[in-house]
């Protein structure tokens, strides 16, 4: 049945949820219903008006179970939210209902043997501050590190700073276990371990509310930062590939930006003259010395370095990479949008540059896929029409690249392209009424179309 908010007695719901923070103020509802969907002009038109009827902030798993029970009893849609930094409207409630904000479910339970057990609302940067003195840190994090939650990163993210060494979140071994609250007639908590975690990993909260996670960590190095400039992009890209392939140089970020993208980085203007392409790097401090010879080999120039002792001070280069590149560019020119592309080879990058020129400005992020460092990227696109955007996407796909389309809120139409029978089967088991983040999982709404 299609949900109608008017059929619900919201005062009665508030009474049933007494003791759990509930927000009904319209301004707050707007803020807590939306994410960074407006990086996409397509999603901006589709999602800007969507609102929850109520937002709740449970602080314990028991409170999450209570919210789940109320939603099941009254057949109210439930959409989980972390920090709301997702890019594809993942946590925007398409049918209204209750948004469950988990930022206050945020305890760090334990850290032992290089594994941490945490609540989903733990902010990524907050965790690292506590883990680093013990010699550990997250294996990877998005450029939204300071605000994003671990639950949201697992629910909606893919990888980021650290992926050059540890691959992507979906790779086996990057998530050990989760506890998940179901939306069955009597909601319960399930524990998933090993490959079973893939049932809810990157599922946009469509098939369970993650209430606890066991995440393996990385040894924490003393990380330094560097900007290297190049006269031409081809040299910058080759440098990026060679550094990414260099096993003996310890790194966490290899991010390459074609001219004119660096000109969008206001805070970096002192270091990157107009006309240059650049590499933004995070490396173990001990790798800075050998880096110099590699830079010389590609005729680059080290324009800036920040020692590990200054890690918490001044410019944070990570916040110019991954989708922060798009954020900075859009601050200057809001008509820009972006793509997310696996190029796989630098030949493919070159092919796309020759085809699209300045219409698609190349920003590469190197990451490890099945043991090999490959160029992926979040190119900036000078947007004109939806038809042209689709043409650009199809050209990439027809020429050896894979696009994780950031202009759709539907799970399967983004990166995956195919229906995941495992995630569908899990949803059938734990969310029989289809209440979790409705409208996001194609497999579900095609098999169980909503009735009037
Ligand atoms: C400027 C910018 C840069 C970004 N850079 C990156 C990047 O480098 N790498 C990257 O992967 N992403 C990136 N993103 C996307 C986003 O920031 C990340 O995916 C982030 O990890 C999301 O965390 P969040 O807490 O904000 O999650 P939210 O946006 O709140 O949620 C994301 C999804 O996860 C679901 N979810 C949240 N919590 C739970 C839970 N407990 N159980 C089940 N489902 C849950 C939500 O329903 C939603 O579908 C970027 C976004 C922006 C705006």
CATH number at residue 197: 3.30.465.10
Ligand 1 atom, smallest distance to 209 CA: 42
Asked whether the beta carbons of 281 and 225 are under 8 A apart, the reply is yes
**How many degrees, rounded to 5, is the angle at CA 73 between CA 423 and CA 419?**
15
What's the pLDDT tens digit per position in 217-267? Answer: 999 999 999 999 999 999 999 999 999 999 999 999 999 999 999 999 999
| Cβ(41) – ligand 1 distance below 6 Å | no
Query: Do both 234 and 196 map to the same domain?
Result: no
| Cβ(323) – ligand 1 distance below 6 Å | yes
- Summarize the confidence of residues 377-396 as an average pLDDT: 97
pLDDT at residue 378, rounded to an integer: 97
Ligand 1 atom, smallest distance to 208 CA: 43
Of the three residues 168, 191, 219, the one that is the final residue of a domain is: 219
Closest protein CA for atom 24 of ligand 1: 152
Q: Does the residue 260 lie in any domain? A: yes
Q: At what angle do helices 346-356 and 386-398 cross, to 10 degrees?
A: 150
Query: Do both 210 and 230 map to the same domain?
Result: no
CATH of the domain at 377: 3.40.462.40
| Cβ(155) – ligand 1 distance below 6 Å | yes
State the total domains in the chain.
2
Q: Does the residue 391 lie in any domain? A: yes
Closest protein CA for atom 4 of ligand 1: 323
Q: Does the residue 215 lie in any domain? A: yes
Query: Do both 267 and 182 map to the same domain?
Result: no
1 band by pLDDT with thresholds 50, 70 and 90: low
| Cβ(205) – ligand 1 distance below 6 Å | yes
The strands making up 336-338's β-sheet, listed across from edge to edge, are 336-338, 380-382, 360-361
- 302 alpha carbon – ligand 1 mean position (Å): 33
Q: Does the residue 72 lie in any domain? A: no
Q: 170 is in which domain, residue-wise? A: 108-219
Query: Do both 323 and 188 map to the same domain?
Result: no
Query: Do both 285 and 301 map to the same domain?
Result: yes
Tokens encoding 176 = 């050990």
Ligand 1 atom, smallest distance to 85 CA: 26
Q: Does the residue 100 lie in any domain? A: no
Residue 333 has pLDDT above 70, yes or no: yes
311 burial via Cβ count (<10 Å: 0-12, 13-18, 19+): middle
Query: Do both 321 and 304 map to the same domain?
Result: yes
What mean pLDDT value characterizes the chain?
Answer: 96
Q: Does the residue 423 lie in any domain? A: no
The closest of 405, 387, 282 to 342, measured between CA atoms, is 405
Of the three residues 197, 219, 241, the one that is the final residue of a domain is: 219
379 band by pLDDT with thresholds 50, 70 and 90: very high
DSSP letter assigned to residue 266: G
Query: Do both 165 and 278 map to the same domain?
Result: no
Helix and strand element counts for the chain (H, E): 14, 21
The closest of 271, 242, 240, 243 to 258, measured between CA atoms, is 240
Query: Do both 192 and 245 map to the same domain?
Result: no
What's the pLDDT tens digit per position in 405-431? Answer: 999 999 999 877 777 888 999 999 999
**Hey, what long-range contacts does 383-391 have (CB within 8 A, 24 or more apart)?**
383/41, 383/335, 383/336, 383/337, 386/41, 386/42, 389/42, 389/337
| Cβ(349) – ligand 1 distance below 6 Å | no
Query: Do both 370 and 231 map to the same domain?
Result: yes
- Summarize the confidence of residues 346-357 as an average pLDDT: 98
What's the pLDDT tens digit per position in 396-406? Answer: 999 999 999 99
Closest protein CA for atom 20 of ligand 1: 153
Give the alpha-carbon dihedral of 15, 20, 25, 26, to 10 degrees. -100
Query: Do both 227 and 200 map to the same domain?
Result: no
Burial track 378-417 (b if 16+ CB lie within 10 A, e otherwise) = bbbbebeeeeebeebbebbeeeebebbbbbbbbbbebbee
Which H helix or E strand runs over 341?
Answer: strand 341-342
Q: Does the residue 37 lie in any domain? A: no
Residue 331 has pLDDT above 80, yes or no: yes
What's the pLDDT tens digit per position in 299-313? Answer: 999 999 999 999 888
What's the pLDDT tens digit per position in 128-152? Answer: 999 999 999 999 999 999 999 999 9
Ligand 1 atom, smallest distance to 105 CA: 41
Ligand 1 atom, smallest distance to 82 CA: 30
User: In the beta sheet, which residues pair with residue 192?
Assistant: 178
Query: Do both 250 and 385 map to the same domain?
Result: yes
- In angstroms, the CA 102 to CA 109 distance is 16
Q: Does the residue 303 lie in any domain? A: yes
| Cβ(157) – ligand 1 distance below 6 Å | yes
211 band by pLDDT with thresholds 50, 70 and 90: very high
Residue 260: is the preceding peptide bond cis (ω within 30°)? Answer: yes
Query: Do both 208 and 227 map to the same domain?
Result: no
């Amino acid at each position: 049945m299609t949900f109608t908010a008017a059929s619900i007695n919201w005062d009665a719901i508030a009474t049933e949820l007494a003791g759990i923070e509930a927000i009904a103020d319209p301004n707050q509802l707007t803020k807590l219903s939306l994410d960074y969907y407006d990086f996409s002009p397509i999603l901006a038109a589709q999602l800007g008006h969507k609102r929850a009827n109520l937002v709740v902030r449970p602080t314990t798993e028991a409170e999450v179970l209570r919210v789940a029970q109320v939603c099941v009893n009254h057949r109210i849609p439930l959409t989980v939210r972390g920090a709301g930094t997702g890019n594809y409207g993942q946590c925007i409630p398409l049918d209204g209902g209750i948004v469950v904000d988990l930022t206050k479910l945020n305890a760090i339970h334990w850290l032992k043997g290089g594994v941490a057990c945490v609540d989903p609302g733990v902010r990524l940067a907050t965790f690292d501050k506590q883990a680093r003195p013990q010699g550990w840190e997250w294996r990877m994090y998005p450029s939204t590190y300071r605000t994003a939650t671990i639950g949201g990163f697992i629910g909606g993210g893919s990888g980021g700073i650290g992926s050059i060494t540890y691959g992507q979140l979906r790779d086996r071994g990057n998530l050990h276990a989760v506890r998940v609250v179901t939306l069955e007639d009597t909601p319960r908590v399930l524990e998933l371990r090993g490959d079973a975690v893939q049932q809810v990993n990157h599922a946009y909260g469509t098939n369970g509310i993650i209430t606890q996670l066991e995440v393996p960590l990385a040894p924490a190095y003393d990380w330094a930062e560097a900007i290297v400039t190049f006269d031409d992009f081809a040299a910058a890209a080759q440098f990026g590939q060679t550094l990414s392939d260099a096993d003996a140089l310890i790194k966490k970020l290899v991010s390459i930006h074609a001219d004119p993208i660096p000109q969008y980085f206001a805070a970096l203007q002192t270091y990157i003259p107009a006309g240059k392409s650049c590499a933004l790097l995070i490396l173990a401090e001990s790798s800075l010395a050998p880096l110099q010879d590699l830079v010389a080999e590609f005729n680059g120039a080290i324009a800036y370095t920040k020692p590990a002792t200054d890690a918490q001070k001044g410019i944070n280069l990570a916040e110019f990479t991954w989708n922060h590149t798009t954020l900075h560019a859009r601050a200057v020119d809001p008509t820009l949008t972006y793509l997310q592309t696996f190029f796989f080879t630098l030949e493919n990058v070159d092919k796309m540059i020759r085809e699209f020129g300045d219409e698609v400005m190349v920003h590469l992020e190197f990451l490890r896929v099945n043991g090999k460092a490959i160029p992926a990227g979040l190119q900036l696109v000078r947007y004109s029409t939806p038809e042209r955007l689709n043409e650009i996407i199809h050209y990439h796909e027809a020429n050896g690249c894979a696009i994780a389309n950031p202009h759709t809120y539907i799970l399967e139409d983004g990166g995956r392209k195919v229906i995941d029978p495992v995630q569908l089967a899990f949803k059938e088991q734990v969310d029989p009424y289809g209440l979790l983040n409705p409208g996001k999982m194609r497999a579900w709404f095609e098999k169980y179309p909503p009735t009037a």
